[in-house]
Chains A and B, each alone.
Chain A
Amino acid sequence: MKHLAFKRGALILAVLLFSSILLSACSSSDKEKEVTPSGEAVQEQVELRLGYYSSAQTDAKMQELVKKFQDSHPNIKVKTESSPYGQFFQKLDTQIAAGNAPDVWLSDGVLVPKYAERGALKDLTDLIGKDLKHDEYYGLDFNKDTNGKYWGVPQGIQIGVLYYNKDMFDAAKVAYPTTDWTWDDLKAAAEKLTLDSNGKYATDAAFDGKKVKEYGLTFFSITEGWMPVLKSFGGGVLDPTLQKSIINSPENKKALDWIVDGMNRHLFPTPADLKSFQSNMAPFPSKAAAMRIGIYARTMDANNAGLNYDVTLLPKGPDGKRFSPVIANSWVINKKAENQVGDAAWEWVKFWATTDEAQKEWASLGEAVPVKKSVANSEQFLNGKPANKQAFLDSFEFAGTLDVNAVWSEWVGKFNESINRAFQGEIPADQALSTADKDVQQVLNEFYKK
């Protein structure tokens, strides 16, 4: 009974380790030569292990594409391994530990450096240089590290724009957002759109901030929260080396003040307010927020909810600077995949990136912006809801990653810890920034300065 406590942690680990060791023992014969009845070796037959996270819907589409790939590459036999997002990455870590990870897998864009910098991925710089034309793609550079090396090829791109609910704007008699908006314009509109349960807008003296029914803007964590604001105000979190915090800057202070003010006035939900929704993503599709900073995948929720909405560019900062957050979910290749298996893995990545058909099929799910420019700019992608899908493509001009590095989830955790306290009004903005600066730098030092 006494050892139950650590059994939990250690046991989970041990079970995973042992089961992956067993698995690896069973799969040592990956490569087999296909031999015809006459005994002649016709073509080198390769088995490729392909891993990806998926939902029921995306899984069916992926299987379809795998079948098409096999038809055009008869010598490659693809074995797929898929599970829901969280489980996929938990399993992946233990698979890598046991030397038994898939040959090629789909990585969340923010996790590519985690695997790359810990030595689990194959450097794709040369292959990309040889086989892919830079100009034809959106976002190859989003996987480039500070040394100019490429670690993945985007599978689909998430890029942030401003979503707005036209019905709610009409009801409040507010003009729709334009591409000229600054964040202050947004806040002025948000004030007119924030409604309490007594039917009073935030511009009204009788407005009750404790009982907000509809928020002007919903604001969630990093991608759909502080990162675009910080960066368009001229601030940010890490310097270009991605090893040094630049959190404690006057620009960030201004940006944070802008956010905290919006929360104090109850125009945006605080992190605690957000908890009253079943999901952090719920306020916009459930019509409890008139605007959101949202990535492309959010069109699915909004469409499913039947909202009358559209999208436009994110607002400009005080100096006219814009920033649109990007996550390039990417195919990455296992460092251990060599020779024929490595070639087969690259064939799959190439098939995905270069084949118009594959790109179009995937785009039809409406889950990500296609990587190939020709497909992204086609009518097939641009038609449908929201009307102004062009805004997603226009945003590439001022798009950037989320300062992603090997310890990204950890520093984001530390950063959120501090600034969420400022959002809740517990500590002033500058204290939040100096604490976050110290904590984040410590996380960076522990990993990089050794």
Chain B
Amino acid sequence: MGNTELAPTEVKNPVRRRRKRLNSDGKWGLLMVAPYLVHFIVFVLGSLIASLYFSFSEYDILNPPKWTGLDNYTKLFNEPIFWKALGNTLYFAVLFVPLQTILALILASALNQKLRGLKLFRLAHFLPVISSWTVILYVSDAFFNTRFGLANDFLTRMGLDPQTWLQDPQLVIPLLVLIAVWKGIGYIMVIFLAGLQNVPSDVYEAAEIDGAGTFRKFLNITVPLISGTTFLVVVLSTISTFQAFEQIYVMTGGAQDATAAGGPNNSSLVLMIYLYREGFSFMRMGYASAIAWVLFVLLFILTIVQVTLQKKWVHYE
């Protein structure tokens, strides 16, 4: 009896003790994450549910929301401007993501060498990253102002016609992409630099013995070995293009006239600007919430696609 009684207690005791300790740990843990949890529930989960509810109702902020079912979504999908905004957003992404990724990789490889004044070069490329969009606006205005800008001055000196740059519906998105790449490239470059420094040098040495040139080494060793970093960069850049707001807002007229943000003939109207304009300028918070949810679903799908494709090209050592 004594034995049989002892045996289970021996087994039971540590379990009970462990569970008890876990409990008190759990309480501490919970207490520690409480501020975050409260923040998450109130400001993330709460607003998520609220915006989902608003997206099915008519809500002008001043009066309580009125449930209208799928009206906002029906209107959204029948609205030519929504499709235009979606098209512009995708156009922006298709230009921006590869351009920034490739240029940043080339730049990072160049700045991964042992050069004189290396820190200065790295710093110079990082400066636009930490500047605000308003500052970037003034710098790019010095270039692309139609009256006083360097670009037009250069063109007229060459005997060519001056351009209207950001006011030209054809040029506006490529120009915005160019400026965004200039601003963002330093950040991506730093990520790539970290990736490059993890590539073991013995692989290069082995390749050199086999007679591979610089270009071959870059293409056959560097590119595959940092594909994990590249994947991260591509996902990050894609998400950031769908959230592009400030740049387009300040550069295409929103700072002066909120209803005009979106450029000439809505040619630079992206989804975030469309959302802002409908929600905050025209007081259609319900409709704006519907745009937000469509944007979310879109990004969700895109990210899943990227994660799935990752298996095909990302190489982990």
Contacts and interface: CB of A to CB of B under 8 A. Distances in A.
B260 A5 contact: no
A1 B239 contact: yes
Contacts of B162: 210-211
Contact of B61 (A97, A273, A277): A97
Interface stretch (B193-201, B207-215, B281-289): B281-289
A9 B63 contact: no
B242 interface: yes
Interface in A258-293: 271-273, 275-277, 279-280
Interface stretch (B18-26, B47-55, B92-100, B122-130): B47-55
A119 B61 CA distance: 12
Given A11-B47, A275-B146, A5 B299 contact: yes
Interface in B9-55: 42-44, 46-48, 50-51, 54
A3 B289 CA distance: 13
Contacts of B299: 2, 5
A6 B292 contact: yes
B3 interface: no
Interface string A68-96: 00000000000000000010001001101
A410 B260 CA distance: 11
Contacts of A416: 259-260
Nearest to B60: A118
Interface string B242-257: 1101000000010011
Contacts of A210: 161-162
A7 interface: yes
A11 B62 contact: no
A35 interface: no
A221 B243 contact: no
B283 A8 contact: no
Contacts of A6: 48, 51, 289, 292-293, 295-296
Interface in A316-370: none
Nearest to B242: A5
Nearest to A1: B239
A94 B285 CA distance: 12
A409 B279 CA distance: 13
A412 interface: yes
A115 B293 contact: no
Given A9-B288, A18-B42, A426-B265, A275 B253 contact: yes
Given A10-B47, A13-B50, A413-B281, A272 B146 contact: yes
A14 B50 contact: yes
- Indicate the member of B42, B266, B296 with the most A CB atoms within 10 Å: B296
B272 A10 contact: no
B292 A118 contact: no
Interface in B176-198: none
Contacts of A86: 258
Interface in A108-143: 114-115, 118-120
A15 interface: yes
Chain B interface size, as a band, is: 35 or more
Given A3-B296, A96-B61, A118-B63, A14 B47 contact: yes
B166 interface: yes
Contacts, number: 135
A7 B48 CA distance: 7
B229 interface: no
Contacts of B257: 221, 280
A273 B298 CA distance: 37
Contacts of A239: none
Nearest to B245: A8
A18 B265 CA distance: 37
Given A5-B239, A5-B292, A279-B256, A272 B164 contact: yes
B280 A7 contact: no
A4 B292 contact: no
A13 B259 contact: no
B138 to A, nearest CB: 9
B256 A9 contact: no
A390 interface: no
Nearest to B235: A1
A426 B168 CA distance: 11
Given A94-B61, A273-B146, A9 B265 contact: no
Given A3-B296, A4-B243, A276-B146, A11 B61 contact: no
A424 interface: yes
- Indicate the member of B46, B62, B283 with the most A CB atoms within 10 Å: B62
A251 B260 CA distance: 26
Interface string B155-176: 0100001101011100000000
Nearest to A18: B42
A258 B91 CA distance: 37
B47 A8 contact: no
Contact of B147 (A97, A276, A420): A276
A194 to B, nearest CB: 14
A412 B276 CA distance: 17
B303 A275 contact: no
A412 B259 CA distance: 8
Nearest to B281: A409
A244 interface: no
Interface in B47-98: 47-48, 50-51, 54, 60-63
A200 interface: no
- Indicate the member of A2, A119, A271, A426 with the most B CB atoms within 10 Å: A2
Contacts of A271: 167, 264
A61 interface: no
A6 B242 CA distance: 10
A5 B166 contact: no
Contacts of A410: 259, 281-282
A280 to B, nearest CB: 6
A280 B256 contact: yes
Interface string B107-120: 00000000000000
B300 interface: yes
A44 interface: no
Interface in A4-49: 4-11, 13-15, 17-18
Interface string A416-444: 11001100101000000000000000000
B257 to A, nearest CB: 7
Q: Can you list the 5 inter-chain pairs with the closest CB atoms, starting with the nearest?
A: A14-B47, A272-B167, A10-B51, A6-B292, A413-B259
Given A10-B48, A413-B282, 8 more contacts: A4-B239, A5-B296, A6-B292, A13-B285, A273-B146, A275-B253, A276-B149, A410-B259
9 contacts: A2-B303, A8-B243, A9-B275, A10-B289, A11-B43, A118-B62, A409-B281, A409-B282, A417-B266
